[in-house]
Copies of this chain bind each other. A is one copy, B any other.
């Protein structure tokens, strides 16, 4: 398969595929001459994954490259890969030392244990800070409800991880972590809409 066919089958302009090749998001094809390269199904699959990460996944090119690097690194343990994926995902800006207290309290209440420098912990603290700055203060009880729901999901996510090959597991973790987020958010909004319809009838 040449680049034009690869691009066409993924629904991406050729120029964009070249850009991804340059950026290292998609591995180079097998050179069959100075001006020809051959691409296989694995390139097509990778290209589709890249598009999913960049589009619906909401990642930047730089973050996607880092995530894919974790996918590509063989020998990574699943737990480490999950950590790598989290470290690289959005939501962890170079924010200062936020107030971790309420965030840690949530974990204590749930009995969760995570790394001290867990990116998700910083992300949580940052999100709580933003809420406070916006003049809303979530109660510990509300947070625990959220944590309970998140716990069911996270538990399930990890239980689903295939144990066959590490590479497969890592890919699974990355894809699910990133691409199920929009699903979860959409479902929450649907639940809100349904609940709102029931609580405020006649408003429709």
Contact = CB atoms under 8 A, between A and B. Distances in A.
Interface in A165-184: 172, 175-177, 179-184
B200 A79 contact: yes
B199 A150 contact: no
Contacts of A194: 110, 112-114, 154
Chain A interface extent, by class: 35 or more
A132 B151 CA distance: 25
Q: Which of A136, A148, A194 has the most CB of B within 10 A?
A: A194
Nearest to A204: B79
A45 interface: yes
B190 A150 contact: yes
Q: Is the interface of A mostly helix, strand, loop or mixed?
A: helix
B135 A145 contact: no
Contact of A136 (B106, B154, B179, B191): B179
A52 B135 CA distance: 10
Contacts of A183: 124, 127-128, 131, 138, 143, 146
B146 A176 contact: no
Interface in A59-93: 77-80, 82-83, 86, 89, 91
A152 B149 contact: yes
A30 B82 CA distance: 52
